[in-house]
Amino acid sequence: MFRKYFLSVIALLILVVSQMGIVQAADTRNHAEDSAQSLLSAFTSYTDLRLLSVQQSLQILASTPEARSLKWKKMEPLLRGYEKSGSGLIVWFVRPDGTYATVDKGEMGVKLSDRSYFQPLMSGTTIDGELVVSKSSGKRSVVIAVPMMEGGKVVGAIGASVFLEVLADQVNAALALPANISFFALAPNGLTALHRKTNREFLDPRDLGSETLKKAANEMLTNPAGVTSYEFDNVTKRAVYRASPLTHWKFAVVFE
């Protein structure tokens, strides 16, 4: 009788302890997720504000008499001054025929008319978040560009190619993340725009051999915000994500 009672007590204690473990694990997971959400807000806000400040500066430059002259020699000193005041970008001016000049190299022998953003830009659309490999520098970049209007027509545009590696390093320094937390951002086409490990920029996570990562990436690209999980490098990872209203990238913070 006593033995039966003793075994029942032991079973009850095991059940209580196991339930406490589940609760503690859930609390730990919720705390980690709450921290990741805070980091996600900081990541999204920092990046959007950085790119928005570039856009606003370009709009100011485009409204100056030097830029309105549409003559490269007149506007170049002004654009050079802005480029030197920042870091990790190249400023340029493009004409409706696609010919363009950059602060670092002057008149270029190639055109921008083959870029996917060129026609929308020449139709009067401001460009925010287009991913390119810069023709002048060869670096992975995000394009910000503003059209210049005259008499209801686009007469040119001023743009900046922001180097993604530099931007990722700036984000990393600002967030001061521990080693077990990472961040990345996906462009609408699925390419990685930003990553804490900068060598993964311009890769599509759906092509990296993990079916769970492929599923998670598709989920991120489809939904405006959420939480997902996947396995990569033999580690189970959890990610919180949300869309940027500026670039329409999906920003994510990942924790193990």
Share above pLDDT 70 across residues of the chain, in percent, rounded to a whole number: 88
Nearest alpha-carbon partner for 29 in 21, 40, 17, 18: 21
173 within some domain: no
pLDDT at 9 over 90: no
The pLDDT of residue 233 is 86
In a domain, 198, yes or no: no
207 found inside a domain: no
**Residue 190 gets which letter from DSSP?**
S
Cβ–Cβ < 8 Å for 145, 87: no
Question: Per the domain annotation, does 44 fall within a domain?
Answer: no
247, part of any domain = no
Residue 28 clears pLDDT 90, i.e. is over it = no
Rounded Cα distance, 173 and 156, in Å = 36
Across 9-18, 117-126, 181-190, least confident range = 9-18
Is 222 a domain residue?
A: no
Say if 109 falls within a structural domain.
yes
DSSP secondary structure string for all residues of 11-54: HHHHHHHHHHHHHHHHHHHHHHHHHHHHHHHHHHHHHHHHHHHH
Q: The domain containing residue 71 runs over which residues?
A: 52-161
Task: Tell me if 95 is assigned to some domain.
Answer: yes
Rounded to whole angstroms, the Cα distance separating 23 from 7 reads 24
CATH number for 96: 3.30.450.20
Give the chain's domain count: 1
Instruction: Note the pLDDT tens digit of each residue in 59-109.
Output: 999 999 999 999 999 999 999 999 998 889 999 999 999 999 999 999 999
Q: Which helix (H) or strand (E) holds 140?
A: strand 140-150
